[in-house]
Amino acid sequence: MFDISNPQKRERFLVILAGIALFILAIGVVPAQFGEINQLKKDRAEFTNKINEHKLHARNEEEIKNRLSAIEQQALAAAGTAAGGEAVEGYRDWLRKLADSAGIRGYSFPMPTTSGGGKGATHTKHIFVLDNGEARLDQIAEFLRQFHRSEYLHTIQQVNPRPTTNRQGAFTVTFRIEALSLPQIKLVNMPNSDGLTTDDERQKSAAIRDRAILSEYTPPPPVVVAPPPVVFEHDARYCILNAIVETDGTLQCWIDHRTQGRKYYLFEEGSFMLEGIQCVIKKIDIDAQQIQMDIGGDLYALKVGGNFDDDIEKIEQSYVE
């Protein structure tokens, strides 16, 4: 039986009681504490996510506000107001100046049509038609370049160029342009375009202008390949111009073809065959003591005493009749 008066047994009993108490604490209190810590971590993560979502929403809201502010600066004033009428007329004048600056001529420019207004409408469309202007391709490109350089709430819906019949390289062109006005805009905003043209843009315009895409096609000149000069073989070396004489007031040349045993006494336009090639006497010059001959379509000169192989010279100028 347990004796509480025994100090040794009493200490053992107290140790057992302390162990039981620690065991109960370990299985009951400690897990609850860990659960609370985990829940706190989870709550903190959710709170951090919500903060990040609010920050992202704030940034998006700021970006939207900035975009709306930019759109307001690029739109016409509200339709149906005094400022709106002034804005439409000012925009129309700007388009006219743009066309004139680009070099577009002879166009008509009626008042714009308006659509999409009314109560609760988010915007109003104004359609401008610059009709039947005459311009070269580079002038059309210049108008488009200046138009799109302006940061404005407008767009070119249609460009319709048609070749003209009265002026080569020109087009008859129509532009259909749409600009927007917003109901909350009270100011008359006008598009900005500095009108400056860089050297690079000038070069591009010149390249477009020089293409002349409507001009009649002219094929490149044919490549003329000069025929090779007549080359006689060894037989021509023994064909010699012996003399130039005058017979009854008419000049005559004497040619001795020694290997063939033939002698030719020829006037101008007379001819003979040499190695299968026809040689036509075109001019006999007694003063220069030479003849000019058409040999295979080319003109050659030969002085008295020379042979048809080593001494003939090709000449460029035409013979004198």
Q: 188 and 250 share a domain?
A: no
Closest among 152, 194, 179 to 84, alpha carbons compared: 179
Which SS3 state, helix, strand or coil, does residue 249 take?
coil
CATH of the domain at 115: 3.30.70.60
Residue 317 has pLDDT above 70, yes or no: no
Question: What confidence score (pLDDT) does residue 142 get?
Answer: 87
Is 147 within a domain?
Answer: yes
Final residue belonging to a domain, choices 153, 176, 211: 211
Residue 182 has pLDDT above 70, yes or no: yes
Residue 231 — very low, low, confident or very high, per pLDDT cuts 50/70/90? Answer: low
Q: 260 and 307 share a domain?
A: yes
Question: What confidence score (pLDDT) does residue 149 get?
Answer: 82
Question: What confidence score (pLDDT) does residue 240 get?
Answer: 92
Is 164 within a domain?
Answer: yes
Q: 162 and 125 share a domain?
A: yes
Highest mean pLDDT pick, 123-127, 168-172, 300-304: 300-304
Q: For the chain, what is the mean pLDDT?
A: 78
Per residue in 99-115, pLDDT (tens digit) is: 998 899 999 999 999 88
Per residue in 123-167, pLDDT (tens digit) is: 888 999 999 999 988 888 889 988 888 777 888 999 988 888 777
- Extract long-range pairs of 290-293: CB within 8 Å, 24+ residues apart: 290/244, 291/241, 291/244, 291/253, 292/319
Q: 205 and 238 share a domain?
A: no
Q: 108 and 185 share a domain?
A: yes
Is 25 within a domain?
Answer: no
Angstrom distance (rounded) from CA 287 to CA 59:
104
Q: 186 and 241 share a domain?
A: no
271 bridge partner residues: 280
Q: 257 and 188 share a domain?
A: no
Q: Are 253 and 239 in contact (CB under 8 A)?
A: no
Question: What confidence score (pLDDT) does residue 108 get?
Answer: 93
Q: 164 and 284 share a domain?
A: no
Per residue in 249-292, pLDDT (tens digit) is: 899 999 999 888 889 999 999 999 888 888 999 999 999 999 99
CATH of the domain at 281: 2.30.30
Q: 86 and 199 share a domain?
A: yes
Is 29 within a domain?
Answer: no
Is 192 within a domain?
Answer: yes
Q: 177 and 243 share a domain?
A: no
- Count: domains in the chain: 2
Q: What residues have CB less than 8 Å from 115, skipping those under 6 apart?
A: 124, 125, 127
Q: What number is the average pLDDT over the span 209-215? A: 57
Q: Are 79 and 127 in contact (CB under 8 A)?
A: no
Final residue belonging to a domain, choices 179, 211, 243: 211
Angstrom distance (rounded) from CA 42 to CA 33:
14
Is 267 within a domain?
Answer: yes
Q: 109 and 202 share a domain?
A: yes
Residue 109's domain comprises 82-211
Is 46 within a domain?
Answer: no
Q: What number is the average pLDDT over the span 161-186? A: 84
Question: What confidence score (pLDDT) does residue 12 get?
Answer: 72
Per residue in 31-79, pLDDT (tens digit) is: 556 666 777 778 777 877 777 776 677 666 666 666 666 666 677 777 7
Question: What confidence score (pLDDT) does residue 66 get?
Answer: 61
Is 108 within a domain?
Answer: yes
